[in-house]
Structure formats: C-alpha cells, structure tokens
Structure 1
Amino acid sequence: MTMYAALLRGINVSGHKKVPMAELRTLLTELGHGDVRTHLQSGNAVFSSPSDDENALAVELERAIEKRFGFPVPCLVRDGAYLAAVAAACPFPAAELEGRQLHVTYFGQPVDAERFARIDPAAYLPEAFRLGDRALYLYAPDGLGRSKLADALSRPTLTKGIMATSRNWNTVVKLVEMTAHDGART
C-alpha cells in the first residue's frame, strides 16, 4: 500500500464549495481507501491505496466529490515520496522561516521556466520564487495575503491550462509527516 495526499483546490473558502472533512473521510473510505485522515478544513486528505496511478486516483476522487456534493473540485493526488522530495528540495531556508512565509504550489503537470519568464524577480524583492518538480516555491516574508509576487504568479496567463493548488510550509511539512510510512498511521 502506498500513502497518498489528496490536495483539493478551492473548498471551504468564504462559505463556498463546502466539503466537511468528516464527509470527505467517509467518501475516501467508500472508494476503498484505507488509513484515511484529513488535515485542516482546506482540503488535505491522506489515504492508502494499492494503486500506483496518481492521476486515476485524482479523477476518481473528483468524480465522487462532484456526485456527492454537486459541484466540481479539482484534485491533485501525490504520494508520500514525492511530497518528501519536494520538501527536501526547498531552495529557501525553511527551518529559519515561519510557515506563513513559505509556500509550495503543486502543479498537475510539469511546468517550464519559460512560462514565468516575464516576471522580473528584482521587481518583487525580497519576495522570491523558484521552480521545482511540478512545484513552485514562494518566499513571501510578509505572508501570502500581502504578497505582490503571489498575485503576479497567479495571473491567468501564467496558470492557464494547469491545475495548481498552494499550501503553506506548515501544511507541506504536516503532509510529509502524515504520508511518511506507507500503510502506517502517524
């Protein structure tokens, strides 16, 4: 069994697209997954599955959510090894920063640097970003809510055609911990 994290995009924000975590856990269990747990109310679920197809797991979950709740919710599913590798590859000094200062945007597919070439990094200092494996790391010293770089990075022209969802560093670390041992509860 492999441990996975499901990252749901845009749920439980300002009372829209409500997906109670208890119902999400029930739904994942009904889909045949084990070791189901959730983290926070913002769409983070961990589960075990014998499948090795992250995309198929995501599509299955998206369909089940739409059927159960009546609205579409984009989902990414990533295994624990990938989540750990993304955390380990962080180009910023994560141990020295507050969780609100560092974010990871997970992409549904690889992205190339050319997509972000029009962003002048010097114009946003001290904020900074770096690309990783289907991920973008964002350092925003004043937090995401005040980040001009985060606004620039989320422009539709840059994100068109790509499923993307962001998590702060505290959540990144927690998901790594929750998926650390295949088939084992933490």
Structure 2
Amino acid sequence: MITHLALLRGINVSGHNMIKMEALKTMLENLGFQNIRTYLQSGNVFVDSEEENAAKVGFMIKQEIFKVFGHEVPVIVINKEDLELCFKNNPYLNEKDADTKKLYVSFVSIPLKKESINDLKISQFKPDEASIDANRIFIKYAVGAGKTRFDQKYIEKKLNVTATMRNWNTVTNLLKIYEE
C-alpha cells in the first residue's frame, strides 16, 4: 500500500464547491481507497492505495468528485518525499528571522524548469519573492497572501499548469501526519 496525499483545490472556500468531509471519505472508500484521513476542511486528504501512479490517483479522485458532487475540482497528488523536499529546498526557511506566516508553497501539476521563474515575472510583484523547485513554487509574501495579485490563478495562467497553494503551517502539519 502506498500513502498518497491528494491536494484538492478550491473546496469549501467562501461557500464554493462545498463537500462535507464525511461524504468525501465515503466517496473515496467507494473508490477502493483505504485509511482515509483529512486535514482541515479545505481539501487535504491522505489515502492508501495499491495504485502507485500519483497522477492516476488524482484523476480518479477528480472524476469521482465531479460524478458524485458535480464540482470540477483540480487535484494534485503528492507523497511524503515531496513534503520532505519542501523543507530541504525552501530557500526562505534559511533566512534570518524567517516569518513562516508569510511562506507558501504552490504545488503544480508538472515539473517546471528553473527558467520558468522568468515566465512568472515576479519582479512586478516586489517585494514578494518566489523560487521554483521541480513541481513546487516557494513563495515569500512581503505582507501576506491576501494582499497580492501573485496568487494561484496568476501562476496557473502564466505557466499553463494546475496549481494549489498551501501555507507553511499546513505544509508542516501535513508532513507530521505523514510521519505518524
């Protein structure tokens, strides 16, 4: 069995794409997933599966959510190693006096090249900062995520990817759950 972490984008946010966690768990059990655990109400779901291919797991979940709930919900599936690499490769964690409340990770659907940072034109969002590492974009907001236009929608449009963001506190807690 492999434990996958499905990151569902945009559920239970501002009254949109409402899905109760118990209904989501039942749906996932009916798909054959086991040991289903959720973190928060915003779409962080651990599932155990015989299926090794993360993209296939994500596709199955996305299709079933649409079939059962009628919501078009992008799903990115990652593993424990992805979360561990967040801690290892986040350039903003090593800064003196790093404010983790302003750190975010945008998980994207495909691996990116380092040069993709140029496509984001991050300089127009200064003093916000960003760094690309494979299928993750590390973000350090100067003020906070709610006060910038450098957000998930912008990233998706500029890079032609599916993305979902998590704040650093959530990333930290998700790794702890993986380690339990």
Q: For the superposition of Structure 1 and Structure 2, which TM-score range results when normalised by the shorter chain?
A: 0.7 to 0.9
Greater relative CO (CA pairs within 8 A, separation 6+): 1
Q: Percent identity?
A: 29
Letter in 2 for 1:177: K
The match for 2:129 is: 128
Pick closer, same or farther for the CA change 1:156–1:25 going to 2, 3 Å.
closer
Superposition pairs of residues 39-118 of structure 1, within 5 angstroms:
39-93=39-93, 96-118=97-119
Question: Scaled by the length of structure 1, what TM-score is found?
Answer: 0.85
The Cα shift of 1:90 comes to 0.9
* Divergent runs of 4+, >4 A: 118-123
Worse-superposed segment, 80-89 or 49-58:
80-89
Equivalent position of 1:34 in the other structure? 34
AA partner of residue 131 (structure 2): R
The answer as to whether partners of 2:4 and 2:49 remain within 8 angstroms in 1 is yes
Aligned to 2:29, the other structure's residue is in SS state helix
Residue-by-residue CA offset, 1:154-182 (whole Å, 9 max, x unaligned): 1564132x1111100011111111123xx
Unaligned residue ranges in structure 1 (runs of 5+): 181-185
Does the 8 Å CA contact 1:84/1:176 hold for their aligned counterparts?
Answer: yes
Match of 2:178 in 1: 179
- The residue aligned with 1:10 is 10
Query: What letter matches 1:40 in structure 2?
Result: L
Report the equivalent of 2:146: 145
Q: 2 CA distance for matches of 1:10 and 1:98?
A: 25
Give TM-score, length-normalised by structure 2. Answer: 0.88
Size of the alignment, in residue pairs? Answer: 179
Gaps of 5+ in 2: none
Could you say which residue in structure 2 is the equivalent of 1:168? 167
Structure 1 residues 89-143: Cα deviation after superposition (integer angstroms, max 9, x where no partner) = 1111279544430000001101224433155555544321100120100001311
- Aligned partner letter, 1:28: L
Task: Please say which of residues 87-96 and 29-38 is displaced more in the overlay.
Answer: 87-96
* Aligned residues of 2:114 and 2:133 also touching (Cα < 8 A): no
